[in-house]
Amino acid sequence: MTDSVFKDSTLPLALVTGAGSGIGAGIAKHLAANGHKVMVTDLDINAASKVVEEIQSENGIAMPFALNVTKQEDIEAAVAAAGKVDVLVNNAGIQYVSKLEEFPVDRWKMLIDILLTGPAMLTREVLPGMKASGSGRIVNVGSIHALIASPFKSAYVAAKHGLIGFSKVIALEVAEFDITINTLCPAYVKTPLVEKQIADQAREHGISEEEVVNNIMLQPMPKKSFISIEEMCGAVDFLLSPVARNMTAQAIVLDGAWTAR
């Protein structure tokens, strides 16, 4: 598929970050299967291209784009290449598990840049187009850690908490338009990012990986199960639907009653 086919399509456009794997890839493929053309962005262009190939094999419309959400020039280039963005899914993520006193300063700042500043700057870039058309949907992929804390995740927890506050401010700033901004807050979703966390947490806590899964990840969750990507996609469907036009500035929690305790 050529770029011109993508640009000429009249389907609503969704830009998804961190879409080369995990939640982002799942949401990108789901949106493409349900009436959107999708700009699949990722730091790894090869991973993004593979997701695009999967979408195209199912007759969906998508194009890959190499995007480092910490670089303003990349953000501007992605939105310029996309054109008018109808749906922005801020999903790009990274994790680092460490005691604060051993947390590398550059890595702490990197997490904030990727998880908080990146979504803010992408939102900043797409808002003029959304305002001009009078509509838009912004979905931030947050975390249960946007609501609660866990040890050894100071940068991640700080950034995800900040994402909710940021979303509330933007919801107020665009209230006169049919633009909504919400944050999905799932408990653990079985993705490559979470798989890596299991080993890191085992090291920090001095326990086995099985104990990490059972006693740290699933123990606080009464339903004792990982959140599926299908559940995340279902939540996105609702937030994009007309009946959610007044659902904005909200944290949508998929946590199996974790935060009910």
Q: Give me the active site residues, please.
A: 156
- What's the CA gap between 205 and 190, in Å, rounded? 20
What is 178-195 written as a DSSP string?
EEEEEEEEES-B-SHHHH
Closest CA to 229 of 17, 10, 11, 23: 23
Beta bridge partners of 138: 88, 181
The alpha carbon of 170 is separated from its chain's Cα centroid by a whole number of angstroms, namely 17
- What's the CA gap between 238 and 151, in Å, rounded? 33
- What's the CA gap between 210 and 213, in Å, rounded? 5
Using CB atoms within 10 A of its CB, is residue 209 exposed (0-12), middle (13-18) or buried (19+)? middle
